[in-house]
Structure 1
Amino acid sequence: MKLFSSDTIKNVYLVCVVIKDENGQDMPMDKILHDISNIERLSFIFPRLAHVTADTFTRLPYFPKLRKVTIGNIPEHIDESDVIAFEKKYPSASCYHTFRSNADYDRSSN
């Protein structure tokens, strides 16, 4: 995780990327993003076969400087309220998310 443990990283774009841990297991989103405290823009598009649960969003760290977040390809079994709860932590950020069913939600239009 040395790749992501820098205070200088401001933008993170992970599109259908799978990062393996030392045991060859897929790393969950919260562990990938754990040490990035100064992130301002985040785009995380889940790979088609990613293991995603509601906890994926509740375990994410808080990013005090986050201004834009896009989360895409969210599996349909995830309740949208879990994603929205994460987005509500960032009232001044532009937040967008899409599910695999291609239905999308744009908080800025509400």
Structure 2
Amino acid sequence: MAAAKIKKGDSVVVLSGKDKGRTGTVAQVMPKDGKVVVEGVNIVARHRKPSQVNPQGGIDRFPAPMHISKVALADPKDGKPTRVRFEVKDGKKVRVAVKSGETIDG
């Protein structure tokens, strides 16, 4: 399996869909499904019937998973979308933003 280019806690930009251009933080990565959950993006509403756990019922709003290809890492320099490459610096493999050359972690 290839190394993860997007990880939990990364700042990402949405590239397509109803939230195109919005930025958010990755809350969860699902590598087997190829999906990510981004906080505040791709919000869906579920209408819940009253139950013993939730006697009031109502509408639940939460971020739904979206395909990882729809997001790109935000460049640490200017916040615009960038691709990611790997480099070995000081004997450690680190992620580097292609656009600016900035190290993302490490």
Query: TM over 0.5, yes or no?
Result: no
Which structure is higher in helix share?
Answer: 1
**Which TM-score tier does this pair reach, normalised by the shorter chain?**
under 0.3
Of the two, which has the highest radius of gyration? 2
